[in-house]
Amino acid sequence: MKFQAQNLLAVPKFKTALEYRDKFTFDHEKIDSILDLHLDDMIGIFGETRYSNALVTRLVVRSLLPCNHGGVDAKNVIVIDADNSSSPYLYVDLARRYGMHHRSVLHKVLVSRQFTIYQLTNAILYDLPKRIQLHKPKVIVISGLLDQFYQDPYINISEAETLISQIVSALHKIKDVFIILTSRLTDNQITFPPLSRIEIRTKNVFDETKLNLSIYSKGRLRKVSMTEAELTN
């Protein structure tokens, strides 16, 4: 009897234990199907603040869930809020959605606000390592990282790129922590070091806001379209 290869079941795909370790998902099928996130990853989310903040807050809250419920059992999350976008109301809403006590979630999210590029740089280069040792977070968020550089009327592009390079180099030295950087999309010429990133662009279609996401991951570009409701629900 001859084997009929085309009639055989497909060989199951195996993954390494590392691929399953400390995996993050956005709980959005369209995004999760093309973006594989783990601790030690660093990603950038660029676009209108309310959309990037919706994605970031979802990841933060989900990271607090136990591993068997899709989280990584994070005990603390550090948020360096450079654009004043961190919303306790959104944390409460998502906590309730995932069946978590909102007070517990708010207690575990440690927020620091920085108002100048020099405060921000100092906080990341010198204060953050101490906070990591003290609180042992599994997730760090730096929101509006580039916004402060765009808005400073006195800084030149060369100085901005030097400071940003120092910041990203310092962040790359942090181990076993998932790092999220956010900023608005602009036409500014400041160069940002390469990393996996999501760029969100909006388009009004009739009564809906349509979002086009360009997802750059591991050297590949994928595009996803969704409505505002799909992203925020």
Of the candidates 143, 149, 183, the one whose C-alpha atom is nearest the C-alpha of residue 165 is 149
Structure tokens at 19: 């691929």
Q: What is the reported pLDDT for 192?
A: 64
Residue pLDDT, tens place only, 112-144? 999 889 999 999 999 999 999 999 999 999 999
Burial class (CB in 10 A: 0-12, 13-18, 19+), 133: exposed
CATH architecture of 38-196: 3-Layer(aba) Sandwich (3.40)
Q: Are 190 and 150 in contact (CB under 8 A)?
A: yes
- Full-model pTM: 0.86
In angstroms, the CA 157 to CA 105 distance is: 38
CA-wise closest residue to 146 among 201, 199, 185: 185
Cα-flanking dihedrals φ and ψ of residue 215, to 5°? -115, 115
| Pairwise CA distance, residues 103 & 117, whole Å | 31
d(CA 57, CA 185): 19
Q: Can you give the pLDDT of all 233 residues of the chain as single tens digits?
A: 444 444 444 555 555 554 455 678 888 889 988 888 888 889 999 999 999 999 999 999 999 998 877 788 999 999 999 998 989 999 999 999 999 999 999 999 999 999 889 999 999 999 999 999 999 999 999 999 888 888 888 888 888 888 988 998 899 899 999 999 999 887 665 666 677 889 999 987 777 789 999 999 888 899 999 998 888 87
pLDDT at 2: 47
Q: Which residues contact 216 (CB under 8 A, 6 or more apart)?
A: 196, 197, 198, 199
CA distance 21 to 17: 6
Per-residue pLDDT of 194-210, as tens digits, reads 778 899 999 877 777 89
